[in-house]
Amino acid sequence: MIEISVDAAACNGCGLCVKDCPMRVYELKDGVSVPVRPENCMGCLSCHEICPAQALEHRGVYPSKRHYIDIRVCEMINRVL
């Protein structure tokens, strides 16, 4: 099971992870990113790479090529919906 944590002291509220996550895991609350739908996370680590504050941590993620294929499929689906 994937566990997501946000370092609230480090998060600058830029919202990049909110926009970037294809599974809509995050929302901004009071200027801080909150993983409101952690059960949706597929472990692509895209948010981890994009966060300028290095405020995100994922436990239980084992990246593979499959994850990167999945993220592209999700992006295409989100564009159509």
Cα separation, 51 vs 13, in Å, equals 10
39 is written with which tokens? 């059960």
Sites for ligand SF4 among residues 13-52 (CB under 6 A): 13-17, 20-21, 23, 25, 33, 41-47, 51-52
- Residue 52 or 78: the one with the smaller Cβ distance to ligand SF4 is 52
The DSSP annotation for 3-18 comes to EEEE-TTT-----HHH
Report the alpha-carbon angle 14-7-19, nearest 5.
Answer: 30
Q: Which of 3, 5, 6, 63 binds ligand SF4 (CB under 6 A)?
A: 6
User: Least distance from C-beta 32 to ligand SF4, angstroms?
Assistant: 7
Q: Provide the binding-site residues for ligand SF4, judged by CB under 6 A.
A: 6, 11-17, 20-21, 23, 25, 33, 41-47, 51-53, 55-56, 58
